[in-house]
């Protein structure tokens, strides 16, 4: 099994959706709470602060999902390794199950760049982007209540 195939979730969507929904709900609640705390110290209302917090959470989800799903994270790390870290360095790719278990191996920066140019399917990144869009819509709804 290739490294890309090892990082693709194997369980069906109906088993993953509850985890995604809980993560989305907790993230929105934390973002709204942070927004309300900021609103308590500024002139903004509580709903406005919560709305801006949820919009910020949506932007973060969109950035993370787009970066990981599009392979840009591997391309950025590979480019930095090529420029500043020499040609070969120890692997810090946590998508690899061996690295998560603590096994360190040397990788070539060029192979990291190639991996970024051909990203594997990443359903989690897709659902992060969908969650980011949903959070943006929720935040805009909260901001339009004013």
Per-residue pLDDT at 126 exceeds 50: yes
Q: For 61-112, how does the pLDDT look when each residue is reduced to its tens digit (9 = 90+)?
A: 999 888 888 777 666 666 676 676 654 445 555 566 666 666 655 666 666 6
Q: Report residue 76 as tokens.
A: 């950025």
Q: Higher pLDDT residue, 145 or 61? A: 61
Q: Where are the domains of the chain?
A: 13-70+125-146, 72-118
Confidence class for position 1, pLDDT limits 50, 70, 90: very low
Q: Name, in order, each residue with C-beta under 8 angstroms of 136's C-beta and a sequence gap of 6 or more.
A: 55, 58, 59, 62
Burial (CB count within 10 angstroms: exposed 0-12, middle 13-18, buried 19+), residue 32: buried
Task: Report the distance separating Cα 23 and Cα 7, nearest Å.
Answer: 19
């Amino acid at each position: 099994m290739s490294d890309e195939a090892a990082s693709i979730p194997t369980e069906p969507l109906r088993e993953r959706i509850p985890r995604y929904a809980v993560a989305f709900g907790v993230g929105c609640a934390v973002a709204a709470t942070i927004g309300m705390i900021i609103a308590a110290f500024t002139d903004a209302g509580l709903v406005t602060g919560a709305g801006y917090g949820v919009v910020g959470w949506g932007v973060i989800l969109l950035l993370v999902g787009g970066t990981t799903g599009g392979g840009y994270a591997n391309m950025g790390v590979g480019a930095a390794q090529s420029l500043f870290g020499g040609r070969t360095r120890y692997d810090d790719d946590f998508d690899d199950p061996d690295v998560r278990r603590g096994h360190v191996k040397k990788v070539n920066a060029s192979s990291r760049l190639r991996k970024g140019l051909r990203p594997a399917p990443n359903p989690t990144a897709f659902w992060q982007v969908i969650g980011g869009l949903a959070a943006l819509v929720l935040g805009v709804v909260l901001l339009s209540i004013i």
